[in-house]
Structure 1
Amino acid sequence: MSAPTKKQLASRHVRRLRTMRKQLTDMSCEWEDLDQFCANELDRLARAVEDVAVSLLDEDSGESSI
């Protein structure tokens, strides 16, 4: 069995990261009326996860986001 290519690995990880982002966003919504600090922290983490996903896509396409 061959190892996945860089593009395959990046695509797989982007999908997983976006699933995580959705879960974090859902958690943030659950905290919305209970504790604004927790809601904000989860939202911040969801944005950071998306930033990583975008950077994987940029890296895979040969572009640099820096």
Structure 2
Amino acid sequence: RQRAVESEAPLSPGQERIWFHENLLPGRTAYNEVKAVRLDGPLDTVALREALRALVARHASLRTVFRESGG
């Protein structure tokens, strides 16, 4: 089910856990997943930019923002 833009929702238990650990030990990278990709040949930066924009437009999770309010 898709949420309206700018609506608020409670955190899932997993998100609460990540929030707790980040506040307990700020700046740790335990939940970061790092990937590297090697590209050979010329890069069409316009096509890459548009592909990334389309990806973000299609997947709401990539547009998600977590704001802290009320402590």
Instruction: Please identify the structure whose Cα radius of gyration is greater.
Output: 2
The higher relative CO (CA closer than 8 Å, separation ≥ 6) is in: 1
Bigger fraction of residues in helix: 1
State the TM-score, normalized to the length of structure 2.
0.27
